[in-house]
Amino acid sequence: MDKIISAKIEALLIVKGEPISFKYLSKQIGATEEQIVHSIEDLGERYKNTNAGMALIVNNEKVVMTTSESVSEFVADLTKNEDDAELGNAALETLALILYEGPTSRSVIDKIRGVNSTYILRSLMVRGLVERKMAENSTKNYLYKPTLELMAFLGIKTLDELPDKEHFSKVIKDYTDGTTGKNE
């Protein structure tokens, strides 16, 4: 059973891409918090003993998956190359969603795009294009919004100054409400 719990923890950490509480893991996996803690300790040791490219960071009854120290130079080089590269279509699509619908959560972005956007959001934050803040009614969810620097670069003072904001927002709302195509 412990291997199944560990596999589910790994899957949740990859899918969520952010710190997850032991309580949340326990609820989602259907295991006790004691089993969760034990499995996290085992996973951490396994990663450490096998020179894996990933590691777990545990803090205040939360855990997050990150890259290990053994690949830190490699990751730094990748990140540097990523920062120098142009934004791809996925990043531009995500940035447009944040500009027109922000502040918005990663789950909404994922739903609209149909794929996990964790990597793209991290890239946009590293570049200083978006920032995240804790959602007011939650201690687990973040909202993403454009940075003031991005707005200044675009030459706008408010998001209402974006071109065709009203039409674009209606299309997105219709899509998320499941009424796509009825407004065209």
Write the pLDDT tens digit of every residue in 67-93: 888 888 887 777 665 555 677 888 888
Q: Is residue 184 part of a domain?
A: no
Decide if pLDDT at 29 tops 90.
Answer: yes
pLDDT on residue 101: 83
Q: Are residues 60 and 114 in the same domain?
A: no
Q: Is residue 53 part of a domain?
A: yes
Q: Is residue 183 part of a domain?
A: no
Cα-flanking dihedrals φ and ψ of residue 146, to 5°? Answer: -70, 150
Residue 121 belongs to a domain with what CATH number?
Answer: 1.10.10.10
What is the number of structural domains in the chain? 2
Q: Are residues 60 and 107 in the same domain?
A: no
Q: Are residues 111 and 42 in the same domain?
A: no
pLDDT on residue 184: 43
Cα torsion 60, 61, 62, 66 to 10°: value is 80
For the segment 117-133, the average pLDDT, to the nearest whole number, is 87
CB-CB neighbours of 83 under 10 Å: 11
Provide the residue range defining the domain that includes 117: 86-177
Degrees, nearest 5: CA angle 85-98-133: 100
Note the Cα 90 to chain centre separation in Å.
14
Q: Is residue 107 part of a domain?
A: yes
The encoded tokens of residue 41 equal 């300790």
At 32-69, the pLDDT tens digits run: 999 999 999 999 999 988 888 888 888 888 898 888 88
Tell the residue number behind the tokens 């990043």, with chain if given.
91
- Average pLDDT across the chain, whole number: 82
Give the residue with greater pLDDT, 33 vs 159. 33
Q: Is residue 12 part of a domain?
A: yes
Q: Is residue 78 part of a domain?
A: no
pLDDT on residue 179: 56
Q: Are residues 111 and 38 in the same domain?
A: no
Q: Are residues 165 and 118 in the same domain?
A: yes
Neighbour order of strands in the sheet with 142-146: 104-105, 142-146, 130-134
Q: Are residues 51 and 131 in the same domain?
A: no
Q: Are residues 172 and 90 in the same domain?
A: yes
Q: Is residue 60 part of a domain?
A: yes
The encoded tokens of residue 42 equal 């085992």
